Amino acid sequence: MTDFSDKVVYQIYPKSFRDTNGDGFGDIPGIIEKLDYLQELGVDYLWLTPFFPSPQRDNGYDVSDYRSVNPLFGTMEDLEALIRESRARSMELMLDMVFNHTSTEHEWFQRALAGEEKYQHYYIFREGAPDRAPTNWQSKFGGSAWEYVPGLKKWYLRLFDVTQADLNWDNPEVREELKEILRFWKDKGIRGFRFDVINLVSKPAQMEDDFEGDGRRFYSDGPHIHEYLKELVRDARIGDCVTVGEMSSTSLSHCIRYSSPKEKELSMCFNFHHLKVDYKDGDKWALMAPDYRKLKELFVKWQTGMQEGSGWNALFWCNHDQPRIVSRMGDEGIYWKESAKMLAGMIHLMRGTPYIYQGEEIGMQNAHYPSIDQYRDVESLNYYEILLENGKTKEEALATLAARSRDNSRTPMQWNKGAFGGFSEAEPWLPMAAGFREAITVEAQQKDGNSILAFYKKLITMRKQYPVIAKGTIAFLETENDMTLAYERTLEDQKLIVLCNLDGKEQKIKISPEWSSCPVILQNGRRTEADCPSCKDTDFGTFLTDTGRTLTSEEKTCTMKPYEFVVLGNRTLKQL
Ligand code: TEU
Ligand code: CA
């Protein structure tokens, strides 16, 4: 097992990263062009979302050939150059393996449709009357999870789009095919794999209607999932690679098993519970302000729970499916910078491996599209119709998409202030975010030592510099307030404390005198004594003002500014 605890992963959505041939789609040569930027940022792994041949119904998560490169993005030679050039800069690639389903244009599915029984067993086909789906399960993208094929008089399962047919993992031949794909990429020099919705692959042999939900309770963390994962990792010989599983509607106990080293399954897991605290009644399409108490509880549960079980978390706020975090839980206005930095620091210093999604490091914001014509995402377009059918007005449906659409994160990367942000010379496939402006570009932030970008660099440097961040234990501190979060990291005699104010208002926070005269390691803004009058004659003011006074009495209460973020280190750390 490779030690990946001090590594940082950067996620690239190739379609929106950098277009070098002026067709409006990002491409692999565009990634190569930006490798110096990524090296300078300090990241170790580059997770590329799927670039394989695909009809692009779900932007590449509908794969029609797992062993080639979609000409839209370049050639196999381009990819090999990317592997080489990344490695020359001490970075490795992490490929996105979509093994729950294939595109219906994949050869296997086409042969199944043509009547070849062997390939029908690659998928989940069920006999049945054309007017009655085998179960009442719902697709994650809306509508029934089953599709009828009149020619075969059979239904096939598709948990996502109609063109994404679920594979039958109970068929050993399917599992062998998938192992071979992994070996193919490992032989090409790939040392990292992200597995798309991997905890959904093991379906129950008997499928029944779900009268409580959409069917997910039957197939999430399904009956043979651990057995299949162990087998895949062992036989594909990827135990020495960094692997992350995307776990949909999962549980802590399963994630411990997926990621604890002794189980020999995966290096770590993504879970999404903390990104559902603004779903009203668990419904992504029902808007609600974030429930910060719940958010805190979830961090405490997953951080301490995974620690106790020797599991390992992937730490993230953003990806290509999630709205931008600064728009969601921070502030797009006057505290844009502070809130983006606070949110970053809050998770980067936790126990686990941080993931940065392209554009997050410059505080990119939601798309704020005024019209439905600007959306491209299949899920967004489906749900727009569903919302209208359910009686919402167009304005309400658009407001919901504005907050929840996956296109929020897929807008072109903002490199510079050029017409299309330096992403392309041509009209991009998806419009720029409406709030695109010079301050939110890489070029502007590279010139500013106080930028969000500079802050991300610091966080990455700190992880490499202070082993307590990569390897220390974590314990949360009681802050008596839903809007503040505080935790301590400890490794032998190294200790640091992280204090976050998640609110756009001032909040009080308690701190113990133990932190007397400890240096400020990092903060997201400059602070003077005047900022915190209540600390004025306490020594807590010391940390924040760095004036060198010491703390004397018992617990102190301090006022934290809106979205303030402070990290204190003990003396041992100071000497590092
Ligand atoms: O996503 C899995 C998934 O279920 C969600 O992220 C989903 O997109 C969202 O919750 C629906 O509200 C993965 C990929 O990350 C996503 O891009 C793909 O569309 C999906 O699998 C299917 O491959
Ligand atoms: Ca291109």
How far apart are the CA of 248 and the centre of ligand 1, in A?
A: 9
Q: Note the pLDDT tens digit of each residue in 232-242.
A: 999 999 999 99
Query: Mean per-residue pLDDT for 78-86?
Result: 98
- List pocket residues of ligand 1, CB cut-off 6 Å: 58, 61, 98, 140, 160, 196-197, 246, 248, 284, 320-321, 379
For residue 382 the two structure tokens come to 């489906």
Active site annotation includes 246: yes
Q: Evaluate whether residue 556 is within a structural domain.
A: yes
Q: Are 432 and 409 in contact (CB under 8 A)?
A: no
pLDDT at 515: 75
String of DSSP letters for 397-417? HHHHHHHH-GGGGTSPP--SS
Q: Going by C-beta distance under 8 Å and a sequence separation of 6 or more, which residues neighbour residue 123?
A: 108, 109, 112, 156, 157, 165, 166, 167, 168
Q: Is pLDDT above 50 for 254?
A: yes
**Inter-residue contact 232 to 182 (CB < 8 Å):** yes
What's the CATH code of the domain at 411?
Answer: 3.20.20.80
Q: Give me ligand 1 centre to Cα 522, in Å.
A: 35
Q: Which of 423, 457, 491 is the last residue of a domain?
A: 457
Q: In the predicted model, what is the mean pLDDT of residues 234-258?
A: 98
Task: Answer yes or no: 308 catalytic.
Answer: no
Q: Are 493 and 510 within one domain?
A: yes
Final residue belonging to a domain, choices 406, 437, 457? 457
Residues 415, 550 within the same domain: no
Higher pLDDT, 547 or 563: 563
Torsion of CA 205, 263, 248, 173, to 10 degrees: -40
Q: Check pLDDT > 80 for residue 552.
A: no
Q: If you average pLDDT over every residue of the chain, what do you get?
A: 93
Which-ligand-closest: CA of 245? 1
Task: State the CATH number of the domain containing residue 523.
Answer: 2.60.40.1180
Any domain includes 368? yes
- Domain count along the chain: 3
The pTM for the full model equals 0.96
Residues 218 and 140 in one domain: no
Q: Catalytic: which of 78, 246, 331, 503?
A: 246
- pLDDT tops 70 at residue 541: no
Domain that residue 89 falls in = 9-101+171-457
- Work out the pLDDT band at 576, boundaries 50, 70, 90: very low
CA of 534 to the centre of ligand 2 (A): 56
Residues 182 and 127 in one domain: no
* Mean pLDDT (whole number) for 48-52: 98
pLDDT at position 520 = 80
- Candidate from 61, 104, 166 with most ligand 1 atoms within 8 A of CB, to mutate: 61
User: Which of 148, 165, 182 is at the close of a domain?
Assistant: 165
Closest CA to 431 of 361, 371, 379: 371
Greater pLDDT, 53 or 509: 53
Q: Are residues 70 and 185 located together in one domain of the fold?
A: yes
Give residue-wise pLDDT tens across range 374-415.
Answer: 999 999 999 999 999 999 999 999 999 999 999 999 999 999
